[in-house]
Amino acid sequence: MSRVHMVRDKPCKDCGVSESIMYMVNDLLWQIHGVGSDILCIRCFCKRLGRKLDRRDLLDCEANDVNKHFINYFMEGGCYEKDR
């Protein structure tokens, strides 16, 4: 029960930017904060979430492992620093 989040194919619903970063969050989180079959870049997902990403939010999968350095940035609150 996981959602593959292919940012490459579609622009982000919130900011309209296409990013090539793929990440997977758990289904419950996506149901609450996600946009269904649409796409959110990790930056906008973080904003909707309203807090830092937690390791438990993310699935243990290859996509997250490949992008872990990028994702770590958001787990450390990088998206918020950029907005301020």
Interaction residues for Zn ion, span 25-84 (CB under 5 A) = 41, 44
Q: Which is nearer to Zn ion, 14 or 26 (CB)?
A: 14
Q: Which is nearer to Zn ion, 29 or 41 (CB)?
A: 41
d(CA 84, CA 77): 12
Alpha helix (H) residue ranges in 1-84:
27-33, 42-49, 62-66, 68-75, 78-83
Among 14, 33, 47, 70, binds Zn ion (CB under 5 A): 14
Among 7, 12, 42, 59, binds Zn ion (CB under 5 A): 12
The one-letter amino acid at 3: R
15 binds Zn ion, rule: CB under 5 A: yes
Token pair in block for residue 59: 């699935």
The residue ranges that bind Zn ion (CB under 5 A) are 12, 14-15, 41, 44
